[in-house]
Structure formats: structure tokens, C-alpha cells
Amino acid sequence: MDIVTTLIVDDHPIVRQGIAQVIRQEKLASLVLEASNLQSALQLFSAHRPELVIVDLALGDEDGRNVIRSIRALNKETHILVLSMHDERDNAEDCLRDGADGYVMKQVATEQLADAIRRLQRGEIALSSVMQSAIFRGRKDAMSEGTRTVASLSDKEREILRLLGQGMSSSQIAETLHRSVKTIEAHRATLRGKLGLKTAVELIRFAALWSKQR
């Protein structure tokens, strides 16, 4: 998904300005919006429908996870990137479960933040390799039932699952299979239903682990 508009949700103006500067310098969005709390974030989201929301977990007296849940309830396709001071090992999986697509520490270099946003654009999960490995290890026990379900998928659905597991976006899969992006998105929705997965992130995570174990 191309990112035209980005919403930054952080209660520190200087942090918002720094993130906005990176996005503009790297030409990662045409319009950058800023919010300091859940209420203003939801107002801006409803008015502009940004393709990317970057949210801090600590928003003064508010919990950034409420922003994640609220945005995800409004739109299933918007990219949500958590930018936090808290160690990803303690929070990343909970945020992914809430609907986030990535988790980046605030201490990362500018290049790493830009790379995380580009990974989301490609339809990938934006996590460090260490965190991805930890999550995948924790999910292995849940794979057996899912693997049995995969066996009941059509050949086309398994092919799309395989390509998702390789990190391809919907547009890349559409080009590879000579189908429209709309058709691939429909298949992805069907896959989520058949595999009992609630979000696009869960589908990508399942596809990546399934591909590794084949």
C-alpha cells in the first residue's frame, strides 16, 4: 500500500517533529499529521484516513494500545507502527495482537525508522530479526492445527499463502500471478477466514512461519 498520509500520535511535540522531519526528508509521505492523544488522533484519522499511523505507547495518562485498537477497529488495512521507549521483548507481541504491524524502539537511527516504514509499505512486519525469531518460536506449538487447515485450501490459496510467506505485498503477488490487486486482497480475506486469523499481520506471520516449516 502506498503511503500518502501519515498520522503521528505522541504527546511530546519535539518527538512528533523529529519523526515528521524523517518522513519528509525520506519522502515517505506527502502529508504528515500530528496528534497528542487518542481523541485528537481519532478526529484526524476520521477526517484524513491516513495510510500509516505511528503511535507511542506512553501518551501521558493514556495507553497507546487504545489508539492501536481504536484505529484497527476503524480500518483493517491502515499500517500501524509502534514507536516506543519500552523494550520490544516486553511489548511487541501484545501490540501485534492489538493490530499493530510493527514495533520500533525510539532509540533507533533515522535509517532504521525509514526502513521500518518502507517494510510496512511492502506488506511486511516491521520488527527486529531477534523479535521475529522470538515470536515465531512462541507460535510453533499453535501451528499444527493451522497446518491441517492449510491442507484444505485450494491450490491458488496455498500459492498466495506461500508468496505472502516470502514477504511479498498484494501488488507484487498480483503481478506474479497476473491477477488484479483487488482479487489478491479478496483471497487474503478468505485466507484469514479459513485460517481463523483476525488481522493482516496475523496472516503474514502465519504465512512466514508456515513457509519456513514446509
pLDDT band at 75 (very low <50, low <70, confident <90, very high): very high
R_g over Cα of the chain: 17
Tens digits of residue pLDDT in 7-49: 999 999 999 999 999 999 999 999 999 999 999 999 999 999 9
Query: Mean per-residue pLDDT for 79-99?
Result: 83
Distances (CA, A) of 168 to 65, 145, 204: 27, 24, 9
Residue 1 contacts residue 51 (beta carbons within 8 Å)? yes
Closest by CA position to 101, among listed 201, 208, 23, 204: 201
Tens digits of residue pLDDT in 133-156: 666 555 554 555 555 578 788 999
Q: Distance between CA atoms of 40 and 87, rounded to whole angstroms?
A: 26
Angle at 159 between CA 182 and CA 201, to 5 degrees: 65
pLDDT band at 203 (very low <50, low <70, confident <90, very high): confident
Residue 194 contacts residue 149 (beta carbons within 8 Å)? yes
pLDDT value for 176: 94
Higher pLDDT, 167 or 50: 50
pLDDT band at 163 (very low <50, low <70, confident <90, very high): very high
pLDDT value for 166: 84
Q: Distance between CA atoms of 25 and 21, rounded to whole angstroms?
A: 6
Higher pLDDT, 92 or 146: 92
pLDDT value for 85: 83
In the chain, the domains with their CATH numbers are 5-127 (3.40.50.2300), 138-213 (1.10.10.10)
Query: Mean per-residue pLDDT for 69-75?
Result: 93
Tens digits of residue pLDDT in 97-141: 888 999 988 877 788 899 999 989 887 888 876 666 666 555 554
pLDDT value for 108: 76
Bridge partners of residue 82, in order along the sequence: 55, 103
